[in-house]
Structure 1
Amino acid sequence: MKPTGRFKGYTMIAFRKDLVSGLIVGVIAIPLGMAFAIASGVKPEYGIYTTIVAGILISLLGGSKFQIGGPTGAFIPVLLAIVLQYGYENLLIAGFLAGILLVLMGIFRLGTLIRFIPKPVTIGFTAGIAIIIFSGQIANFLGLRDIAKHEDFFSNMKEIAIHLPTFNGYSILTACICLVILLLCSRFTPKIPGALIGLIVSSVVATLLFNGEVATIASTFGPIPNTLPHFQWPSLTWEKIEMMLIPACIIAMLGGVESLLSALVADEMTGTRHNSNRELIGQGIANMVTPLFGGIPATGAIARTATNIKNGAVSPMSGIIHGFIVLLVLLLLAPYASLIPLASMAPILMMVAWNMSERKEFVRILKTKTNDSIILLVTFLLTVFTTLTIAVGIGLILSVLWFVKRMSDLNTVYEMPSNHSAKQVKVKALMDADSRELHHMNIYTIEGPLFFGTALPLEESILGNLHHKSKILLLQMGKVPYIDTTGAAHLDRLIGHVVKSGGVVLLSEIGQQPLSILERTGLLQRVGRDHVFGHTSEAIEFAIKRPARIRYAESTAMK
């Protein structure tokens, strides 16, 4: 049987390429998985479990050929807040519910909608998350003792300031060794996984020279088991579902955005095209299964996906291999991973925060000094000082309000146009030839979408300029690309006003979507189909040759 789909034409040469890229990404994913788990307030092994289970399922079931899934930095502040407020067990329930929501989003084809979140909002909350991640590693970098974690930024900064006298010189030296290696590798040997080299070298130095002086994974969280946890179904109750539904929505929203952004990056790097809805379904299934093995929520990891592509990956097999590599390391090397100092992991997460901060794009948007700059700053500050939910919600509301304002400014209405394009020549000729007969006629051209943000001003503009003696109102609507039900309602009121004054309304050049809305709302039937024309000249000829007949009045009189 021949392979189909994303594995169609798959060969041993392609497998060798996927094996190399999967091995490299798997090695990189190990320290990151543990670091993200610790920063999220859970044990490091849960990050490894997530990398294995979610990494394999996202590659196997997702909509991108090159996506690498697992725990990511974007989730850290969200998951930490959930753990602090609800506990680890309820985090698993939230992750499971988020998986269900992601599957539903994919089934109902909402993948393309998530991509329409404005860039100032995504850059704002990404930069805010980077600040939270970076600041959250200061305590481990300095080796501070007795640090309590809090949900808000101010409390965490106050905690660090209070405990600064407890700094550990050995921890600082260990962290600096790892940081120097990270910087050197990124500058001179970018293909070598600096995070892994830095982690190993600094851990060896700390073990040999500062043994017992620096906090390690084992001394803080206990030794890492070298097996996967047993399958365990979460204890779901209706009360827990209600309690964790909002956190689950946040995880699903952030996971969906992050995974699709990562898939878009992969598309740009490879010239391919991912399936957004399939990606959401794959992410959803992975997040439903991962909590059953003790794993935390996962999504597409942009940096690891890019690394996967740069190292020659050709299919989802590389992501599957990366998951099995991590599993193999867990089974064979877990006791050694337990010796890693927390100070060695701090610089890794700080570099992750620095790389994900989108600092260049942040500054570029700020320099535009537009409404987008305000949206960016508001989203950023709210992410740092409140919660991601509030930040994204306010950012989206501001974006919608300013979008409506811009559309309203672009929307125009004017009487018979003075500029005579080719298609208007016949209209003008008719107007000039029959000026006496048409003195009772007003012609208005509407340009722009007619929706809830623009309909009322347009209605008021036309009513305010109508001549009282006019018996016919002709609306040219060839440049109206879209009408919603609110726009149709205001158009209904305008027509009703004209009819009550003894006039009649004609429509010309109306497009397919507006015509469909008028038909569905019943407005087309009330206007009269014989009062709707394909061209303005036809409407004028109708007005000249036939007396105005008020077809709308009979229907509106019943209201």
Structure 2
Amino acid sequence: MFSVPLFSALRASLRDHYDLSDVRRDALAGITVGMVAVPLSMALAIATGVPPQHGLYTAIVAGAVAALAGGSRFNVTGPTAAFVVILFPIVAEHGLGGLLIATLMAGCILVALGLGGMGRLIQFVPYPVVLGFTSGIALVIAALQIPQFIGLDGAGAGHLLASLADTVAHLAELHPSTLAVGVLSLAALLLWPRLKTPVPAPLIGLAAGAAAAWVANHVMPGDGAPVATIASEFEWRIGEQSGSGVPPAPPTAVLPWRLPGADGETLRVDLALIRDLAGPAFAIAMLAAIESLLCSVVADGMTRTRHDANGELVGQGLANLVAPFFGGITATAALARTATNIRSGGRSPIAAVTHALVVLLAMVALAPLLGLVPMSALAALLFVVAWNMSEARHFVRTLRSAPPGDVAVLVACFGLTVFVDMVVAVAVGTGLAGALFIRRMALLTHADRVDAPRGDSGTPLPASTAVYDVNGPLFFAAAEKALATLHRIDPDVRTVIIDMHDVPSMDATAIVTLRGVIDDMQQRGVALILVGLPARIILKLRRAGIRRSPGVLTYCSGLDRAAGTARRWEGADTEPDVATAHGSAKPL
């Protein structure tokens, strides 16, 4: 019976003896994760090309919806660094409104994937592909933050190579105070975790940067431009109210298609726009599915639990359907925040809901303080995020130790992500990995003639009988090579027995190849006995017209029975019937 996989993680948590002590642990974990999510959400929204409050809206709305409706107890959902590379071009071409519509479309795809039982999608994406495109994304994110880190206005926008070239061309215009604030924030982000305190490093790093920026702008102002902060770079308007920085108000309902496009005008939704956004929306959905399911698998490994993969896809899809109606951008489960949740003692989705409430409280109560955060400090935070995301040690280890084929897939995926496009990288990388897998499987499949063949009981087989042992799956890349041996048999052989106990599957190409072998045997007057095939493959062969015919073709369960059939056929001294083996003979 069909059932919608909703609220599966929440229901499982409540059934698992959930009590007041678990509520307390979830609350403490949610507070910790919320403190981490506030600066990250703003930084990722800015990196995407939208005002910082939209990242906070995402953490609040999508974080709560995905936690309650999803299939993982520990996943914490919000804006993530992996999406920056996809979302930035959408914002540049279609504006905030186009991004939210693409997010809605991606949400629909994710819900469809979950309802369609595609929750095991992550199993079909090879590790070199995941590592290659995540490392490539990390490099792109870090490179795009360099202008903001050193205070270059207007430099660094666009494609990676163009951004780097533009940054180098404007290096003489760097802002020393901005660079100093960025370096101070980066140092705090890197050194604070060594103190092993419960206060999150992003909070300390951005607080140190904000203090340094305030000193640079008010106590020791220089002759140059002031250090850019969120308040100096962004303005907001809600109804009749307006201000700078982050609005001190919760997210309110909004129609995504009423928001401005790239030209600042209200977006015109038509078939052309939907067609333009279809590709990016599919890429968003696929990346969201991969990242969320990968995050769920990692969380299961850390907690020895099991997630509902289909339920997680439905939950992420609903989060991306609801968030745009409150100004939220694309969301997915975030590995760093999920790991923080687990290490902080989170026990259920209530921790992720608490995290969303903490972000909401911070936005309403601390908006003026959030406006003091310097842009270079946010760039420093994204440097750290990019480094952690890159998995540089695993990347280098894979280059050194993996087989050459896997290394080629990794390098190709990394290079295409950095220099071309992430969607192309994943598609090409998965294709290369698939081709590599097919080649490896084809090498495992082979057919060998057995010398001095004997039956199951050890009885020697007739001298005029040849036995071939086929091992491995027979499919399009292996069937021709494996069965080619059967075309080269001795002239005095009257019966060929093919031991197929170790053949787990056959595809259409293998069936056609086997039919060619049967036809070749008939022309030589040689009978063929297939041994050890499972009933499902025999049924498949019969449907393809390859049926039992006395003296021509039959199926046997073991070598003893095949040897007896060979003796009977040869002892009767009758030539094999050269009528087609795929005729209307009585089936087995």
Q: Structure 1 pair 22/492, CA: closer, same or farther in 2 (3 Å)?
A: same
Q: Counterparts of 1:247-326 in structure 2 under 5 Å?
A: 247-326=280-359
State the match for 2:96 in structure 1. 88
Give the stretch that moved more between structures: 521-530 or 511-520. 521-530
Aligned partner (choices 533, 539, 543) of residue 556 of structure 2: 533
Match status 1:159 vs 2:166: yes
Does the 8 A contact of 1:496 with 1:552 survive in 2? no
Cα deviation 1:381-414 (Å, max 9, x = unaligned): 1111110112112211221122111112111101
Change in Cα spacing, 1:31 to 1:4, as seen in structure 2 (3 Å) is closer
Deviation at 1:352, TM superposition (A): 0.5
Structure 2 Cα separation of the partners of residues 302 and 452 of structure 1:
39
Tell whether 2:545 aligns with 1:518.
Answer: no
Tell me the secondary structure at the aligned position of residue 71 of structure 2: coil
Preserved CA contact (<8 Å) 1:48 1:326: yes
CA contact (8 A) 1:54 1:298 kept: yes
- 1:416 pairs, out of 450, 461, 470, with 450
Partner of 1:448: 472
TM-score, structure 1 as length reference? 0.92
State whether structure 2 residue 196 is matched by structure 1 residue 197.
no
- The 8 Å contact of residues 55 and 323 in structure 1, kept in 2 or not, is answered as yes
TM-score, normalising length: structure 2: 0.87
CA contact (8 A) 1:49 1:293 kept: yes
| Aligned equivalents of 1:121, 1:156: Cα separation in 2 | 25
Contact 1:182 1:198 in 2 (8 A): yes
d(CA) in 2 for partners of 1:243 and 1:206? 41
Question: What 5-or-longer segments of structure 1 have no aligned partner?
Answer: none
Taking the aligned partners of 1:391 and 1:40, their CA distance within structure 2 comes to 20
What is the match of residue 195 of structure 2?
188
Q: Following the alignment from structure 1 to structure 2, what is the Cα–Cα distance between the partners of residues 301 and 87?
A: 24
- CA distance in 2 between counterparts of 1:518 and 1:316 reads 51
Whether 1:553 and 2:586 are equivalent positions in the alignment is no
Q: CA deviation at 1:182?
A: 0.9
1:449 Cα deviation (Å)? 0.8
Q: Which residue of 2 aligns with 1:110?
A: 118
Shift of 1:145: 1.6
Cα offset, 1:178, TM superposition: 1.1
Q: Deviations over 1:457-498 (max 9, x none)?
A: 1232322x2234544332111011222222222222222332
Residue equivalent to 1:230: 253
Can you list the C-alpha shifts for 1:267-297, whole angstroms capped at 9, x where unaligned? 1111111111111111111111112222111
Greater Cα shift, 273-282 or 203-212:
203-212
Q: Say whether 1:478 aligns with 2:498.
A: no
Give 2:30's aligned amino acid: G
1:171 aligns with 2:178: yes
CA distance in 2, matches of 1:119, 1:459: 33
Report SS of the residue matched to 1:446.
Answer: strand
TM-fit CA distance, 1:46? 1.0
1:527–1:552 contact (8 Å) kept in structure 2: no
Partner in structure 2 of residue 241 of structure 1: 274
SS in 2 for 1:65: coil
Distance 1:516 1:257, change over 3 A: farther
**One-letter amino acid matched to 1:167:** L
Deviation at 1:176, TM superposition (A): 1.6
Larger helix percent: 1
> CA contact under 8 A between 2:552 and 2:581: conserved in structure 1?
no
Greater shift, 20-29 or 549-558, is seen at: 549-558
Q: Is the 8 A contact 1:375 1:398 kept in 2?
A: yes
- Secondary structure at the aligned position of 1:115 is classed as helix
- 2:36–2:202 CA contact under 8 A, matched in 1: yes
Task: Determine the structure 1 residue equivalent to 2:238.
Answer: none
Shifted more, 528-537 versus 181-190: the winner is 528-537
The answer for the alignment partner of 2:227 in structure 1 is 214
Q: Specify the alignment match of 2:434 in structure 1.
A: 400
* Contact map agreement 1:101 1:284 (CA 8 A) in 2: yes
Aligned twin of 1:372: 406
Q: Does 1:44 align with 2:44?
A: no
Q: 2:527 aligns with which of 501, 504, 529?
A: 504
CA distance in 2, matches of 1:99, 1:110: 14
The Cα of 1:215 is off from its aligned counterpart by: 1.1
SS of the equivalent of 2:580 reads helix
Q: Residue by residue, what CA displacement relative to the aligned partner does 1:37-81 show, whole Å, maximum 9, x if unpaired?
A: 111111111111111111111111111110111111111111112
Verify: 1:77 aligned to 2:85, yes or no: yes
- Give 1:377 shift: 1.1
Alignment of 1:335-350 (within 5 A): 335-350=368-383
Shift of 1:5: 2.8
Amino acid at match of 2:38: I
- The superposition leaves residues 309-338 of structure 1 with CA deviations (integer Å, 9 ceiling, x where unpaired) of 011111111011111111121122223222
8 Å CA contact 1:430–1:537 kept in 2: the answer is no
356-365 or 539-548, larger mean C-alpha shift: 539-548
| RMSD (Å) for aligned C-alpha atoms | 2.4
- Equivalent pairs: percent with the same residue? 35
1:493 aligns with 2:504: no
State the distance in 2 between where 1:291 and 1:27 align: 23
Amino acid at match of 1:6: S
Which has the larger displacement, 34-43 or 520-529?
A: 520-529
Q: Hey, what's the Cα distance between the residues in 1 that align with 2:101 and 2:550?
A: 55
Question: Aligned partners of 1:160, 1:336: CA distance in 2, in Å?
Answer: 30
Q: Give the distance between the partners of 1:453 and 1:459, measured in 2 at CA.
A: 12
